[in-house]
Amino acid sequence: MPIIYVRGYAGPTAGIDNVVDDPFYGFNRGATHVRIGGDGDPRFYQFEGPLLRLMGDEGYRLLVQGDQHRHLLDSADAALTPASLWVYRFYDQAATTFVPPPHENVFKHLWNKVHHRVTADGFNIEAAAAGLYDLITLIRQKTGAPKVHVVAHSMGGLVVRCMMQKICFQPQEDGRSRLPAKDLVAKFFTYGTPHGGIDFQLDALDWAQQTFGPAGSDIFAPEKMYGYLEPGAKFGDTPPRSSAFDPQNVPEEAFPTENIFCLVGTNPKDYGLARLTVGPKSDGLVSIDHAYVRRAPRAYIHRSHSGPYGEVNSEEGYQNLRRFLFGPWQVTLGLTGLPAAVDDEQWQADMRLAIRGLPVIISEQQTSHWCPIQLSREIRRLEGRPDGTVPLARTFLLEPARPEPGIPSDKSAAPRMRYSLTLRVFKLDAHDDHFRFADHLEQVPAWSDSLIVDIGPDAQGGDVQAWAAWNSMVEGSSDSFDPITDGLPPAQRHPATMERDGEDRFCGIALPPTARALPVLGADATVRIHVHDRRTTR
């Protein structure tokens, strides 16, 4: 399906003028730096950017020919290929670089330069959202594709949500009804979008953003998001006291949350001065807790909001994007069989999800990145979860016929895909809000291990099957065994038992005895693997 990119906030008119000079609004940019090792020194790593990578990996074409609207979409030429990439250039109408410079005296010239650095005349989020609807309609007509994929960075995700939640419920200028977003968009991927708005550590800055909104920044004020996300409201409105409005909630009648993916950045150190006002639990601009849609799949990567170490121009971001758009299976990992209570003890867990053949971590929640899994808190919430599962991670599997570029040639024909889930569990000893260190060993977890899972067709080459083993129980190097269970004692080499519920498959992998000895996990603790065939819900 066609893919449409929607960029983020450009700031005042001066920033908009700089953005529109880029033919692809920055999505063509890759990176040559990656942070490796504990020293944090930059190392060379060439990532060619999401546009070029999709052209190579998935056979997409980038269609421009001087002007994607005038020469392609608005023309009466032959139909265009659905496997095409598009950039929504919504900022062009607010730029001053596409009109002749006005004749003005020196005082007017200086005034305009100052004005262009503090205002964003010509940009309106609802107008941009309406323009996105029109662009999607044109692309569908020209390519014959039933739907499109939309990929957005930062504020671009709010433009998309404004279209989905408000514009699609309003009539067009000629009175005709618009189609609902779920009939237009197949999948919606966001990089670092402030789905819950942007909060600062200083209340005065929050007040100034909402009250004055320099350069249109008031669209990030959580209360004012009501005006452009709620049908029937107008920009500037705030939710009434009786309203249950939550900016991080996308109503199912607008768009299904299982078709939204939120990439959450956890590294504030590589961003600009904004990181000083937002705080460490962020990507430097967007709070970790505000960077996702509730109930939607998400992944955490140690990248900043933008820049040379940013989320968009990163291998981690691209690998999550590719799997979400093209992976036929969704895999959800969680902990089940946990005790009903953990008294007053505080337990946390670190998580890392890796994929064979990739040089990066696909998702990670680390205490050192300010986003561990709060086990104690999650266990207390289990009463509200009918499945009794503490979520760990969610990812998507590509077809085995799409090998990773880093997999050796002797493995490329193997029908199985390999993933690893690394868990570390820590206990925090605290009393009256103060840590106690009498029995403390810094950075020594109460338990740690890696679950290695091979997923592929069964012996008959049909149904999905899983082989799993904890790395501590594998007798030898894990890369010597395929499937991984070949490294276990003979009596334990059988595949995991996959239960079926319609098109869904389930299996449970018991935690090692050392883990089940912990009171927070208990004797019945199990990693639950749920494989869902996404092709059955299109």
316 close to 283: Cβ distance less than 8 angstroms = no
Burial 108-144 (b: 16+ CB within 10 A, else e): eeeeeeeebeebbeebbbbbbbbbbbebbbbbbebbe
Please give the pLDDT value at position 413: 46
Q: Go through the chain and tell me how many residues it has.
A: 538
The last residue of a domain, from among 294, 326, 358? 326
Q: Angle formed by the axes of helices 125-143 and 155-165, to 10°? A: 80
What one-letter code names the amino acid at 327? G
In this structure, the answer to whether residues 66 and 158 fall within a common structural domain is yes
Residues 322 and 412 in one domain: no
CA distances from 404 to 57, 98, 422, 529 (A): 10, 43, 21, 23
Same-domain pairing of 321 and 334? no
How many Å apart are CA 45 and CA 313, to the nearest integer? 11
- The DSSP symbol for 298 reads E
**Could you tell me if 348 and 315 lie in one domain?**
no
| pTM over the 0.75 mark | yes
Residue of 228, 220, 147, 224 lying closest to 188 (CA atoms): 147
Overall average pLDDT of the 8-13 stretch: 88
Percent of the chain with pLDDT over 70: 86
Q: Are 311 and 335 members of one domain? A: no
Same domain, 410 and 487: yes
Mean pLDDT of 129-137: 95
Last-in-domain residue among 300, 326, 352? 326
Output the domain CATH number for residue 128. Answer: 3.40.50.1820
Kindly report, residue by residue over 355-370, the tens digit of the pLDDT.
Answer: 988 889 999 999 999 9
**What crossing angle do the helices spanning 315-326 and 50-58 adopt, rounded to 10°?**
40
pLDDT-derived band at 412, boundaries 50, 70, 90 = very low
Q: Say if residue 322 is in the same domain as residue 333.
A: no
Return the higher-pLDDT residue of 122 and 439: 122
Confidence tier at 33 by pLDDT (50, 70, 90)? confident
Based on the fold, state whether residues 319 and 383 are members of the same structural domain: no
Same domain, residue pair 353 and 289? no
pLDDT digits (tens, 9 = 90+) for 266-291: 999 888 777 777 788 999 999 999 99
CA distance linking residue 138 with residue 501, whole number of Å: 40
Q: How confident is the model at residue 106 (pLDDT cuts 50, 70, 90)?
A: confident
Amino acid of residue 125: I
Residues 366 and 306 in one domain: no
Q: Report DSSP letters for 449-483, one per residue.
A: EEEEEEEEE-TTS-SEEEEEEEGGG-SS-GGG-SS
84-93 tens-digit pLDDT? 999 999 999 8
* Residue 175's pLDDT band (cuts 50, 70, 90): confident
Is-contact 482 469, C-beta < 8 A?
no
- Can you give the pLDDT at residue 402? 63
Q: Are residues 349 and 274 in the same domain?
A: no
- Could you tell me the pLDDT band of residue 409, with boundaries at 50, 70 and 90? very low
C-alpha span between 127 and 67 (Å, rounded): 20
Q: Are residues 84 and 219 in the same domain?
A: yes
Alpha carbons 199 and 364: distance in angstroms, whole number: 23
Residue where the block lists tokens 């990119």: 5
Which of 504, 195, 191 is closest to 332 using CA atoms? 504
The encoded tokens of residue 249 equal 């909630």
Res 411 pLDDT > 60:
no
Q: What is the pLDDT of residues 199-209, one digit of tens each?
A: 865 554 544 45
Q: Where among 298, 326, 354 does a domain terminate?
A: 326
Number of folded domains in the chain? Answer: 2
Range of the structural domain that residue 203 is part of: 1-326
The per-residue pLDDT of the chain, averaged, comes to: 86
What confidence tens digit (pLDDT) does each residue in 277-336 have? Answer: 778 899 999 999 999 999 999 999 999 999 888 999 999 999 999 999 999 889 999 999
Report the C-alpha gap between 126 and 141 in whole angstroms: 23
Q: What value, to the nearest 5°, has the Cα angle with vertex 93 and ends 91 and 99?
A: 125
Written as one letter, the residue type at 487 is G
Encode 386-422: b = buried (16+ Cβ within 10 Å), e = exposed: eeebbbbbbbbbbeeeebbeebeeebeebebbbbbbb
